[in-house]
Amino acid sequence: MTWFQCYKSDRESARNAMLADNWWVVALRGVLAIMFGVAAFIVPAATMLAFVLVFAAYSLVDGLFSIVLAVRGAREGERWGLLLSNGLFGIAIGIAAAMLPGITVLAFVLMVAAWALVSGGLMLGAAFALKISHGRWLLVFGAIASMIYGVLLLVSPLIGALVLTWWMGAHALIFGVTLLALAFRLRKHRGEHIPDAIAASG
């Protein structure tokens, strides 16, 4: 194995160790998504205005959690551009939804579709930096589920508000359960030693 391959392997190990140590942030994202999904099914008849505002709040908080992970990664000298981009995009979508609460159902569907596709794509990219033992396949599953959801919205943008609420609830529940499973998988690896070569270079 060359020096570069060893260094790359150490960097990946450090990145995975950092993510494992911050498993609780991933768990909070999962709990938030599950709460949003449950709310969508409990009050499916809520007005579109109220639902847009709830989605805006969810997107903002979820984006903040992604940025927390990115910042913690940066402190360890890691590159977490995908997580940061995901967080910033989520916050931007949340702000847009909050500032335009009276948008039509069609516009809202297209906004959510863009959010699902972009966030899913960024998550898929981040998944390949995660070890299989740390739950890579869970992150891949969550990313693919988000992108499939985005495609479904684009294919059927004129679905009714009630159906949209159910779809969003189902997506949030699947995504939340996936993140919780990933978080507890990461928790098993918390406290793993970061390679000395990487710690020294940081």
Closest among 23, 77, 91, 59 to 168, alpha carbons compared: 59
Q: What is the pLDDT of residue 202?
A: 42
Residues of the chain with pLDDT under 50: 1-8, 195-202
Q: What is the pLDDT of residue 34?
A: 93
Q: What is the pLDDT of residue 160?
A: 64
Q: What is the pLDDT of residue 196?
A: 43
The alpha carbon dihedral of 143, 145, 148, 152 has a sign of negative
Residue 17 lies in a domain: yes
Domain count, the chain: 1
pTM above 0.75, yes or no: no
Q: Residue 131's domain spans which residues? A: 12-201
Residue 182 lies in a domain: yes
Q: What is the pLDDT of residue 8?
A: 44
Q: What is the pLDDT of residue 122?
A: 82
Residue 2 lies in a domain: no
Residue 1 lies in a domain: no
Token pair recorded at residue 137: 């396949």
Residue 190 lies in a domain: yes
Q: What is the pLDDT of residue 9?
A: 53
Separation between Cα atoms, residue 178 and residue 188, nearest integer Å? 16
Q: What is the pLDDT of residue 47?
A: 58
Judged on CB neighbours under 10 Å (0-12, 13-18, 19+), 20 is buried
Residue 4 lies in a domain: no
Q: Specify the amino acid at residue 200.
A: A
Residue 59 lies in a domain: yes
Angle between helices 105-127 and 136-155 (to 10 degrees): 160
Looking up residue 146, the CATH number of its domain turns out to be: 1.25.40
